[in-house]
Chain A
Amino acid sequence: MKRSLILLIIALLLLAIANVLWGSLSIPVGDVWQILCGSEVEGHPAWSVIVRQGRVPQMLTALLTGSALGTCGLLLQTAFRNPLAGPSILGIDSGANLGVAIVLLMLGGTVSIGSMTLGGHLLVVVAAMAGALGIMALLMVLSRLLRSQVMLLITGVIISYVTGSIIQLLNYSATEQGVHNFVIWGMGNFASVGIERLPVFCSLSVAGLLLALLLVKPLDALLLGDRYAENLGIRIGYVRQMLLLVTGLLTATTTAFCGPISFIGLAVPHLARLALGTSSHRTLMPATMLIGANLALMCNLLSALPRDGSLIPISVITPLIGAPVVLHVILKQRTS
């Protein structure tokens, strides 16, 4: 088990380095190294900007986003005791979407995300957070009433439809620029954080990840169900509130900064279980964070494949990787 974690850390380091060396524009490895060490490459002043303000923040953003989404998925799957739970299926990121849509389409249609001031961007985060927490709270209430796992998933899908149509309605009344911004944001992009907003993004997501790590013991007990957990001395009400807060924070932060990124949250915890063969959150949680980070870094590399300065949207890549994992889970469920 320890060996798997060490392997994951090595993979993470390699992928992180690859993410800095490889981008949509080709820069020689030696020059990248020179730039990272602090000097300029003669004749190519733009390269320094690309590496320092583009690739490095983008690498860190992908790493943290992957960890955050994977962790969210793990928390949700345990909290709802549902292997198919995840921020996107349950409609939590659609709640964040709605929050962002209200800000971008109704309030700030002329402010472009790429150049948005910190204040404006914080507004997006707060709106996403409010949306995500609202949906989480709704799901928590409904999960008490809905006994069946499938019903909860269907509820999530319905929530996504409803928020989707509200967003469509907002689109009608929004300015062209607002709609454009929202569409670009919706494609998912690890580059939209940038060097200026990196500190805010990092502190929010690291805070969420650390809070999640504090929940490993109650999460283990929750695997047996609320009643068993309570009998084992776990304060269910408090733990549920913490779960609400942490998943809300992580989903909202990643969604607000990078756009909706589907399937990572759902698929990564399953990859972690497959790789480590355990149900214990003490090992599963760090493994999920590492695998999530690795997967997101891989997606980020793939998005730079065209090599002509353009990027494939992240939201195009993640379903291609995530869907097979999810299918595997469904098929395994059917046979057991």
Chain B
Amino acid sequence: MKSEEFAAARGQSPFPFEGGREEAGSVELRHLTVGYSQRAVLSDINQTLRPGRMVSLLGSNGVGKSTILRTLSGFQPPLSGKVMLDGRDLSALSLSERSKTVSVVLTERVEVPYMRVADLVGMGRSPYTGFFGTLTEADREIVREAIDMVGISSLAERTVDTLSDGERQKALLAKALAQQTPVILLDEPTAFLDFHAKLSTMRLMQKLAHETCKAILLSTHDVGMALRLSDELWVVQDGVIHAGTADSLRADGTLDAFLKGEDKYV
């Protein structure tokens, strides 16, 4: 089923906020320079990440995909420029506010013995729970919904270390959903997955972006799938981010240049 059909089935436009005005929950990168201790990896980025959209970040290894994601997550400060969310500077947010704004799915493996899927997803409630982290009935309901949304309800009681790679990615995505943030960032969520798991994960993320109206930004090397399933692509090449839909990037030749650039390393 295509994403538009998903949304249509729910009687919604896939892009409910599309229009001229600034939507709630959009992330603006203003003259953003990211990198490490004065060594800029990408300079003067000006892009906007809009709610209800899944954006794929494409680029060869080392061009700075992870650096952008880390900066947007608040793990490292920008070298200059700003990341604005609803008009607020991300770096001015407290740790607690940030944990309710941006959730992440990282490349590091999560394999904790005896941790059930429901426990893992429950961790997403940490920003909202009290001192000892006890979940309320309302929290548990949110956790159930999140697990349901990614389609792994039957796995809720399984321990995380018994899941396949694809199932684990879905569980982590459910954790991000339970965190109830307007923005979700994923660093190569489809790496290590087999073809079918890649496809179902990508479709799931697209569906979630449209249905829950979250802004989803993910980095990936699966160019074909990203072209087919993303609402927008950010192609990082030669220190510049070219943003657009698959069609517009194809039309202006960015894509050809990018694929050729990839080619020379093969």
Q: Do A and B come from one complex?
A: yes
Contact with A along B118-135 (1 / 0, CB 8 A): 011001101101011110
Alpha-carbon distance between A247 and B179 when the two chains are bound, in angstroms = 31
CB < 8 Å: which of B103, B113, B127 contacts A83? B113
Most buried by A among B102, B108, B131: B108
CB < 8 Å: which of A220, A231, A273 contacts B113? A273
Q: Are B133 and A282 in contact (CB under 8 A)?
A: yes
Q: Are A216 and B133 in contact (CB under 8 A)?
A: yes
Q: Are A234 and B126 in contact (CB under 8 A)?
A: yes
Q: In residues 131-147 of chain B, which contact A (Cβ within 8 Å)?
A: 131-134
Given A232-B127, A233-B126, answer yes or no on A279-B114 (Cβ-Cβ < 8 Å).
Answer: yes
Alpha-carbon distance between A223 and B110 when the two chains are bound, in angstroms = 8
CB < 8 Å: which of A221, A227, A282 contacts B123? A221
Q: Are A216 and B95 in contact (CB under 8 A)?
A: no
Q: Are B124 and A217 in contact (CB under 8 A)?
A: no
**Shortest Cβ distance from A231 into chain B, in angstroms?**
5
Q: Is the interface of A mostly helix, strand, loop or mixed?
A: loop
Q: Does A307 contact B (CB under 8 A)?
A: no
**Shortest Cβ distance from B74 into chain A, in angstroms?**
8
Q: Which residues of A contact B100 (CB under 8 A)?
A: 233
Given A217-B133, A227-B106, A230-B75, answer yes or no on A279-B112 (Cβ-Cβ < 8 Å).
Answer: yes
Q: How large is the interface on B (under 10, 10 to 19, 20 to 34, 35 or more residues)?
A: 20 to 34
Q: Are A277 and B114 in contact (CB under 8 A)?
A: yes
Q: Are B132 and A278 in contact (CB under 8 A)?
A: no
- Chain B's closest residue to A232 (CB) is B126
Most buried by B among A217, A230, A233: A233
Given A233-B98, A234-B126, A336-B161, answer yes or no on A228-B106 (Cβ-Cβ < 8 Å).
Answer: yes
- Chain B's closest residue to A223 (CB) is B112
Alpha-carbon distance between A277 and B116 when the two chains are bound, in angstroms = 10
The 4 tightest CB contacts between A and B, nearest first, are A233-B99, A217-B133, A279-B115, A232-B126
Chain B residues proximal to chain A, CB less than 8 Å: 73-75, 95-96, 98-100, 102-104, 106, 108, 110, 112-115, 119-120, 123-124, 126-127, 129, 131-134, 161, 179
Can you show 28 pairs from A to B with CB atoms below 8 A apart?
A83-B113, A214-B131, A216-B133, A217-B129, A217-B132, A217-B133, A220-B126, A221-B126, A223-B112, A223-B115, A224-B112, A225-B108, A225-B110, A228-B106, A230-B95, A231-B75, A231-B99, A231-B103, A232-B99, A232-B127, A232-B179, A233-B98, A233-B100, A235-B95, A279-B112, A279-B115, A279-B119, A282-B132
